[in-house]
Structure 1
């Protein structure tokens, strides 16, 4: 089947529009259709990054999640709702791509924990797909601390705070450098895990990395709730000349 258009997923980088790649910026300049994920009632972080960069008359397709943290991801209903959501939007994107290019906006890098990967797997054989990589959100956050995340032979582990307390403890104890994502309501559990691993004093928390609202704090100085998309970092201390 011949298709005149394609789906282009543009990695937008960690949040600061100036950290977007030239390639993603060029694609946005000529976009006729854009799609982006967002929570219902919110503008969407990806859309906020490209504010003022889009051509006049671009058609926007906000993809609103049917559920985010309202029910746990282990609940069968969570998977059912999200599966239907991705199926429906894969159909929509594939239809548009039959005749025109469509740009899907993605914070960070599309292939690193990005929601687009669930559309990517559903679009195979149905539409041409191009991925434009981007600077990851975690890279923007560890740079914000002003300290290298790894040295020499350091092993870097990336973990989700949604893991069990036992596994978080084990991961923190067995790695040199650590990035923990998806914090939010998981912060008390993560604190306990880092304490058990003997690493709480070394942890940093970064919110809104590279953006105007960025904050960088030692985790021991943090009180109260934090956003789901904040990141906790432990820097490696490895070999160096």
Structure 2
């Protein structure tokens, strides 16, 4: 009998946003794997830390954080074979995922390599996009609004087209692209419709209208929500914290 592979969505950062199902599995599996940078701690592990026991084996999947491309396929090939050895030995393995495993998550690359060989279960998690809307105090979309999810690294022309085509927009992976994205939003006359959230659900969370952000840079964990649909919502900041 081989073990079961679990992809556990942990939510955006607050350990209390882990689902009951993810908590049950996380507390019971003998092997826990998680992505980790080659410098600094693993954010996924930090989220799950209150629920990890000393009896559980931890397997960090070291993923170098670089602007330039690196041999990611080799990283996931090696990680998949490491986890396969535990699964072959009959041990269940839970891979911890920030947010949701299938929403821009690195788990999908392990899923691609292992799901055909082992029983696999995905436990969805709260995405940063949903958490940001809650923190901003403004719904994402309603009725027939089209919601577009736009990655920050996209070129301006492509990003402009995606924003123009949607009634509501979530710009993710903002980070080092913040100044350029903010300039584009201003040029499109949408600054008053945009809210900014960084480090959502964490103690250092910041929530404010995009127009009130004075910095020219943003942390990796930041998101911009734009609403230009048919409802009268503004980029207000209920319960904002600085």
Q: State the TM-score, normalizing by the size of structure 2.
A: 0.90
Q: Deviations over 1:193-241 (max 9, x none)?
A: 212322122211111111211110212222132112211111254259x
The 5 A counterparts of 1:114-129 are 114-129=105-120
Look up the match of 2:81: 91
Look up the match of 2:127: 136
Whether the aligned pair in 2 keeps the contact of 1:31 and 1:55 (CA below 8 Å) is: no
Q: Deviations over 1:122-178 (max 9, x none)?
A: 113322211111111110011100111112211100010100011111112221110
The 5 A counterparts of 1:153-172 are 153-172=144-163
> Partners in 2 of 1:203 and 1:69 — Cα distance?
29
Look up the match of 1:12: 10
Q: Deviations over 1:12-71 (max 9, x none)?
A: 1122111111100001111211110121122111111111211222111111113x2331
The alignment partner of 1:211 has SS state of: coil
Look up the match of 1:48: 46
Whether the aligned pair in 1 keeps the contact of 2:77 and 2:113 (CA below 8 Å) is: yes
Whether the aligned pair in 2 keeps the contact of 1:12 and 1:105 (CA below 8 Å) is: yes
Look up the match of 1:101: 92
Look up the match of 2:235: none
Whether the aligned pair in 2 keeps the contact of 1:152 and 1:239 (CA below 8 Å) is: no
Count of aligned pairs between the two proteins: 230
Whether the aligned pair in 2 keeps the contact of 1:38 and 1:44 (CA below 8 Å) is: yes
Whether the aligned pair in 2 keeps the contact of 1:154 and 1:239 (CA below 8 Å) is: no
The alignment partner of 1:50 has SS state of: helix
Please list every run of 5 or more consecutive structure 2 residues that lacks an aligned counterpart in the other structure: 233-242
> Partners in 1 of 2:226 and 2:168 — Cα distance?
5
Whether the aligned pair in 2 keeps the contact of 1:166 and 1:193 (CA below 8 Å) is: no
> Partners in 2 of 1:198 and 1:174 — Cα distance?
15
Look up the match of 1:232: 224
Which of these residues, 191, 194, 204, is aligned with residue 203 of structure 1? 194
CA RMSD of aligned residues (A): 1.5
Whether the aligned pair in 2 keeps the contact of 1:150 and 1:238 (CA below 8 Å) is: no
The alignment partner of 1:187 has SS state of: helix
Which of these residues, 27, 30, 36, is aligned with residue 28 of structure 2? 30
| Structure 1 stretches of at least 4 aligned residues deviating more than 3 Å after TM superposition | none
> Partners in 2 of 1:186 and 1:61 — Cα distance?
32
The 5 A counterparts of 1:152-191 are 152-191=143-182
